[in-house]
Chain A
Amino acid sequence: MKFRPKILFAFAVPTVVALLTGLTIFQALNQSLHTSERVAHTQEVIGKADAVIRDAGDVVSAVRGFAVTGDEAFLVPYTQAISDSKRNQADLRRLVSDNPPQVTQVDRMTELLDRYVAEVTEPVISATRDGNQARAARLVKTTGRPLIGELTKVGDDFIAVEQRLLDTRTDANNRASRSARNVVALGLGLVVALTVAIGLVLSSRLARNAWAVIGAATGLAAGELSRRAEVRSNDELGQLARAFNQMAERLQATMDSERETKQALEAAVAEYSEFATRVARGDLTGRVSANGAADLRTLSENLNSMVTGLSELSSRVREGAQSMSSSTSEILAAVSQHTVSASQQSAAINETSTTMEELRTAAEQTARKAKEVAEQAQASATVSEEGTEAVDAITRSMEETRDRVGAMAKDILLLSEQSQQIGEITATVNDLADQSNILALNASIEAAKAGEHGKGFAVVAAEVRNLAEQSKQATDQVRAILGDIQKATTSAVLATERGTKVVEESLGLTHRAGDGIRSLAGTIQDAALAAQQISASVHEQSVGLDQITQAVKDMSASTTQFVAGAQQSQEAAEDLNNLSRQLATLTERYQV
C-alpha cells in the first residue's frame, strides 16, 4: 500500500464519523427551531382568543350601562369594543386558517356576537331611547345573558384545545434536544479514538523504513561501497531502498574499471616522454610504437607524422636559405641600378619644373594683356553707347524741328489765305469807292443844274468825291501791300518746303549715322566679349599650368621618396642575406 492511500484512509475514517454526528445534530436543531416557532404561534392564537372574549365582556357591560342609565356616553366604549372584536376575530381567523375545526369555532363566535348585536343591543338602544328602560333591562337579562354565556364557553373551549396542542409540541421538542446531546458526546469520543490509533501505527512504520535508507546512504558517503539498505515494505520507501542498492553496486563496478585504465595511461606517458626528449635533442630519426587504447594509438601516429614533417621542414628551410642568399644578392644589384636611374629622373624633373615656371610667367603676361584688351573694349563699348544715345537725341530734335517747320508752313498758308480774303474785301471796298465816286459826280451835276442854289451842295458833293478818291487810293495801297505779302508768303512757303526737305535729308543722314554707330557698338561689344573669353581661357590655362607644376613637384617628391625607398630596400636585402645565413646555421643542428 502506497503513502497516498494510507494517509487518505487515516484522515477519512474520523471525518466520516464527524460528518454523521454533525448531520444528527443539525436535524435535532432544525426540529427544535420548528417546534419553538409553532409554540409562539399557539401563544399568539391564545392571546387573540382572550381578546375576543374580553371584547364581548366590554360590549355587554356597555350595553348594560346604557340600559340602566340611558346615558349616551356608554355607547362610545360599545362602538369601540365592537370594532376591536371584529378586528381581533379577523386576525384570529387568519392565524388558524390551516385548521378547519378552529375556523368553525371562530365563525361560531362571530355569529354569536352578531346575534347579540342584532337581538339585544339594537333593541336595547332603541328601547332606552324611547324611555322603555324596563324592556331594555328585560332584553339584557333574558336574551343577552345566554348568548354571552355561549360565546364565552366557545372561546374557553378554543383556548383549551390550543393549550393542549402547545403542551404536546413542547414535549416533542425536549425529547429531540436530549437525543441530540447523546449523539454529540458519542460521535466526538469515537473521532478522537480513531485518529490517535491510526496516527501511531502509520508513523512508527514510516520512521523505521526511513532510518534504514538513511543509514545505507551515510555508509556509502563514507566510502563503504558494500553497505546496502534492508527494507521489506512495498511503499515508496521500499522502492527508494531498492534503487539505492542498485546505484551502490554500479558505483563499485565503475571504480574498478577506472583503476585499470589509469595504469595503462601512465605506461604510455613514460614512453612519449622519452621520445620527446630525443626529438628535443635534435634526433629526428626515432619513432613511437603504436599500441594501447585507440586515443593513444592516434596520438602515436600523429607524433610520428609530426616528426617526419619536422625533418622535411628542416631540409626545405636549409635549401630555401641557400636560394634566398643568392636572391638577396641579385636584389641588391637591382636596387643599386634603381637608385642611379631615380637620380637621373630627379634631374630631368627639375629641368621640367624650371620650364613650367617660365611657361607660367608667359601665361600670366598673356592674361594681363587680355584683361587690358577687355577693359579697353569695355570702355569703347561705353563710348559707343554714349554716341548712340547722342545720335538718338539728335534724331529726336530733328524730328521736332521737322514738325515745327511743318506747323510753320501751315501757318504761312493760313496767312496767305487770309491775305487773299483781305484782297477780296479790298476789292469790295474799291467797288464801293467807285460807286461813291459816281454818286458824288451825279450829285455835283444835279447841284450844277440847280444853279446858284445848288452851290453849297456842289461843295459837299466835291468833298464826297474827294473822299471816294482817297478811299480808292487807300485800297490801291492796301492792294499793293497785299501783293507784297502774298509774294513774301509764297517765298516763305517755298523756303519752309526747302527747309523740310533739308531736315528730312538730315534725319536720314542721322539715322544712317546712328545705324553705323550701333553696328560699331555691336562690333566693339563682340570684341569685348572675345577679349573676356580670351582672358578666361588664359586664366584656365594658368590654372592648368599650376596643376602641372604641382604635379611635377609631386613627381619630384615621389622620386626623392623612391630613392629613399631604394636605400631602405638595399638595407632590407642585406638584412635578408644575414637572416638566410642564420637560418642555414640553425638547420644544420638537425640530423635528418
Chain B
Amino acid sequence: MAEPTGPPDETGRRVLEERARALAAALVAEEPVDTVELVVLTVGSERYGVDAERVGEVRPLAELTPVPGTPPFWAGIVNVRGTLHPVLDLRRYLDLPAADGGDQASTIVLVSGAGLTVGLKVEDAAGVRPVPAGAIGPPLGAASEAVNAAVRGVTEDLLAILDIQALLADPRLVVREVPT
C-alpha cells in the first residue's frame, strides 16, 4: 500500500481531524453507558460469564464432601467459615463435555440467588470484565436445553452470560427423597 509521503492535502487533513474527533468522542460517550461486571468462568472447554453482583467468593476446591443419594450434578458440600454450602458441578448440570485433559475442576465460585447460596464447581475463574449492558444480545439458542434455560444473553465476543436467579430456581435442583 503506497502512502503519499508529502505534506497532507485538504482531504487528508479532514480525515485526520475526523479520526481525532471520533477518538475524543468515544471517551466522552462511554461515561453515561450502563455496564455490567461479569466474572468469567471456564466450564469444561467453554467460558461463561456470571454477574459479579451474584458472586460472593471464589475458593480453591478443597474438603469437598460427597453427599450420597443426590443427582450426579450435585458434587457434595463444603464448609466455608462454618457455613455448609451445596456444590453444583456446573459442567454436568449444563451437560457439557469434559475438557481434553479430563475433569480438571479446581475452583468453587459461591453464587447467591432465589434465596440460596450454592458453590459452582468450575475449571477456573479467569477474571472480572466490564461489559456494556447494551452490548448484550439474546441467547443463540443453538445449545442444549439446560444451557438454553440458564443463559440470559451473549456478549459481543460470544461470552454466554448465566442467569443465576433462573439457574437456582430450577426445580431439578431440589432433592426430595421420600424414605420408603
Contact = CB atoms under 8 A, between A and B. Distances in A.
Nearest to B106: A434
A445 B39 CA distance: 7
A35 interface: no
Given A444-B128, A448-B52, A449-B52, A438 B37 contact: no
B37 to A, nearest CB: 3
Contacts of B59: 438
A428 to B, nearest CB: 15
B63 interface: no
A444 B127 contact: yes
B53 interface: yes
A465 B130 CA distance: 17
Contacts of B52: 445, 448-449
Given A441-B125, A458-B128, A465-B127, A448 B37 contact: yes
Contacts of B114: none
B57 A442 contact: yes
Interface string B128-157: 101000000000000000000000000000
A435 interface: yes
Interface string B20-42: 00000000000000000101000
Candidate in B55, B57, B125, B128 with the most chain A CB atoms within 10 angstroms: B128
**Secondary structure dominating the interface of A:** helix
A449 B53 contact: yes
Contacts of B127: 441, 444, 462, 465
B37 A435 contact: no
Contacts of A434: 60
A379 to B, nearest CB: 81
B21 to A, nearest CB: 26
Given A445-B55, A449-B52, A438 B60 contact: yes
A445 B58 CA distance: 9
Contacts of B53: 449
B58 A438 contact: yes
A442 B56 CA distance: 8
A438 to B, nearest CB: 6
B128 A441 contact: yes
A441 B60 contact: no
A526 B58 CA distance: 94
Interface of B: 37, 39, 52-53, 55, 57-60, 107, 125, 127-128, 130
Given A438-B60, A449-B55, 4 more contacts: A441-B125, A441-B128, A444-B127, A448-B52
Interface of A: 434-435, 438, 441-442, 444-445, 447-449, 458, 462, 465
